Amino acid sequence: MAGAAQPGHDPQQLVVHQLKQQALALGFDPVGIAAVPGSPRLPLRTAALERWLAAGHQADMAWMADPRRRAVETLLPGVRSLVAVGLNYYVDAKRQPLALAVARYGWGRDYHRVIDGRLRHLGRWLESQVPGVQWRACVDSAPLMDKAWAEEAGLGWIGKHGNLIHPKRGSWLLLGHLLTTLDLPADQPSATLCGRCTACLDACPTQAITEPFVVDSRRCIAFHTIENRDAGLPPLIAAGMGPWVAGCDICQDVCPWNHQPLESSRDPDLQPRPWLLELAGEQALDWDDATWDERLRASALRRIKPWMWRRNIAAALRATKGNP
């Protein structure tokens, strides 16, 4: 847990200590606190977002330009602090040989629902302790610079692949934030520890990481398999996607911080649906919409519509044809 506070006799520290204990009891770890408006690093992260948008790296994700993303106070008037939480989604399981690949974040229940429900529980607890306090739960669907604020709260640093990295959990963390009007002492922001490593840049088959810390969605397999609504995938993506049909974990799989012994989550909401680890493309192409609806019930992967699944699977089968 980032910056665990000793309660002592300071009422603020006591609230922080109890708040973090409540978050841990809900399955979050690490947990940290950032103060608004944050350290001088936040304007730098905001400027980086503006450069990324200006370069068109967001592709069709117009919501990334929502001005609220750069002004946290618009999400909760009077916000003074953010409680940043991480949910470990690493499960020590592997897909079957020759199975098509699905990103780990989609193996279990829809993490938006899971994190939002637990954060709301945490917010109600905080309100019971401090009557009149205002709060708002945010997952990555909210217009918030979630990784920048998690970095600010000491949960980890933003790696060159654009994902947050925790020194003991690697990058397999789902993020959430509880915004509150309560003025809480902040934890120390995380230092960047990628060093000279370029493993993620070198491994990306479509060269989507155009430079350290810059991911061009237009070249990203994850973007195209999840967000692209075109009938066909671009030739660059179709040629480089390999077995990936829903997201892509290549840049995380090669990250040295993910090669250390990692704790496997036992959270029932994050355990993989067996069929995702043994996805046979030829068979899945014949599934009708009702079958997909049943298989993907309460899944974050429902964003990939049935026709998109079939498009992705057909492209992946062509990409992997003849490969072991």
Pairing of strands 214-215, 244-246: unpaired
Where are the chain's structural domains? 11-90+109-180, 199-320
From first to last of its 324 residues, the chain has per-residue pLDDT tens of: 444 444 445 667 878 999 999 999 999 999 999 999 999 999 999 999 999 999 999 999 999 999 999 999 999 999 999 999 999 999 999 999 999 999 999 999 999 999 999 999 999 999 999 999 999 999 999 999 999 999 999 999 999 999 999 999 999 999 999 999 999 999 999 999 999 999 999 999 999 999 999 999 999 999 999 999 999 999 999 999 999 999 999 999 999 999 999 999 999 999 999 999 999 988 899 889 999 999 999 999 999 999 999 999 999 999 887 443
Q: Which long-range contacts (CB under 8 A, 24 or more apart) does 14-19 make?
A: 15/129, 15/130, 15/182, 15/184, 16/184, 16/185, 18/129, 19/83, 19/122, 19/125, 19/126, 19/184
Rg of the chain on CA atoms, in Å: 20
Nearest Cα residue to 236 out of 315, 149, 140, 119: 315
In this structure, what is the dihedral angle of CA atoms 146, 151, 152, 155, given to the nearest 10 degrees?
100
SS3 229: coil
Helix (H) or strand (E) holding 281: helix 281-284
DSSP helix/strand/coil, 267: coil
- Contacts with 163 (C-beta within 8 Å, 6 or more apart), sequence order: 147, 171, 251, 252
236 burial (CB, 10 Å; 0-12 / 13-18 / 19+) is middle
pTM for the complete prediction? 0.93
Residues labelled catalytic: 140
Preceding peptide of 131 cis, ω within 30°:
no
